[in-house]
Homo-oligomer: A and B are copies of this chain.
Amino acid sequence: MSSPYPPLVPTPRVLMGPGPSPVAPSVLGALAMPTIGHLDPQFLEVMDQTRDMLRQVLETKNALTFPMSGTGSSGMETVLVNLIEPGDRVLVGVNGVFGTRMAEVSKRAGAEVTVVAGEWGRALDAEAFTRAASGKKFQLLCAVHAETSTGVLQPLDPLREVADGLGALLLVDTVTSLGGVPVRADERRIDALYSGTQKCLSCPPGLSPVSLSEAAEKSLAKRERPVQSWYLDLSLIRNYWGADRAYHHTAPINMIYGLHEALRLVLEERLEPRFARHEKNTRALWGGLEAMGLELIVPKAERLVPLTTVRIPDGVDDAAVRRFLLDELSLEIGGGLGPMKGKAWRIGLMGHGSTRQNVTLCLSGLSAALAAQGRTSRVGDALAAVAAVYD
């Protein structure tokens, strides 16, 4: 009747997909620290330190900054349901999975959603937002800073200008940018953002940092009805993470330990050197892939450093390549989503995983996987292109 399985012994992987990314040993160690009470004075200090470090990584002074007790999508839902009341107008840029999801979540929150549709694999043009708004006022302008489904980095400054013109708050998905490319929440006047822990912060999935500007907090204060979600109601969670410590839910203690350590590592490295490391390793990857004759989907100026999308050459078996990498090298890369399914690979160089070693392994592995399908690839050229970046 009672049949437990044997204990888990997962085979370690080199994680070069769209996330989770490789986790530093000290972060795994932090996860295994002794669980203590969520109202223990020791833990309250952990919460305060975590918020403080999160603000440093976000480059913000926003009071309302903390990790939500759920994965990245819970952060998306949090900022949307807190800032939307039924009937509010919301303008959403959609050029990938996560913009699509923001539109869906906004609709479920009762918003009147206007979609600014763009090509998958390209950034959105600010003028397209202005056109779609057609002179109306909006409560929110939503965009994805780093589209994990396509590998596009969305320029935010032009959208901030558009939002100002529409009287809208600027709400941004920073799931795959935070910790890998500059987010600079205050400088860019982002009003609301959410992120994930399992991308460039290199912490396991399970938490979603959120941050709201003063203007967004004012919008919260003016709500006429309660937020539809009790679990994600920021007016309650603010009092739990704040000086009141008013009980709301039990924080996921060990996950917070992990995030604390992950943020510590980011700040020890310092932001600018970390961004430079990400950029250098990804430039090497791009050079290597192109030297192998593979095509990158996103134009260079719009590429997202932590995540690269590569067009799968005609006739190459997507699943077989990924299986080869996983089985032979214990190396994970991602497949495409939505219209890119079967047509693109997604290669992540995020956080702890952004290393020359991983660039080298991935290029050599892809070459071997293609060879297994009878394709030649110029792996020597690829490695020479990589070397050139580090010389």
Contact = CB atoms under 8 A, between A and B. Distances in A.
Interface of A: 1-5, 7-13, 15, 17, 19-20, 22-23, 26, 28-38, 40-43, 46, 49, 52-53, 56, 69-74, 76-77, 81, 101, 104-105, 108-109, 196, 198, 204-206, 226-232, 247-255, 257-258, 260-261, 263-268, 270-271, 326, 332, 337
How often does this chain occur in the complex, in copies?
2
Nearest to A110: B228
Contacts of A13: 34, 36-37, 40
B229 A5 contact: no
Contact of A271 (B2, B30, B227): B2
Nearest to A205: B250
A34 B28 contact: yes
A354 B261 CA distance: 31
A82 to B, nearest CB: 13
Nearest to A42: B10
A334 B338 CA distance: 49
Contacts of A260: 5, 8
Contact of A73 (B227, B230, B255): B230
Best-surrounded residue of A8, A22, A71, A226 (most CB of chain B within 10 A): A8
B226 A108 contact: yes
A74 to B, nearest CB: 5
Contact of A5 (B32, B43, B264): B264
A26, A34, A76, A232: which has the most chain B beta carbons within 10 Å? A34
Residue of A204, A253, A270 most packed against chain B (CB within 10 A) = A204
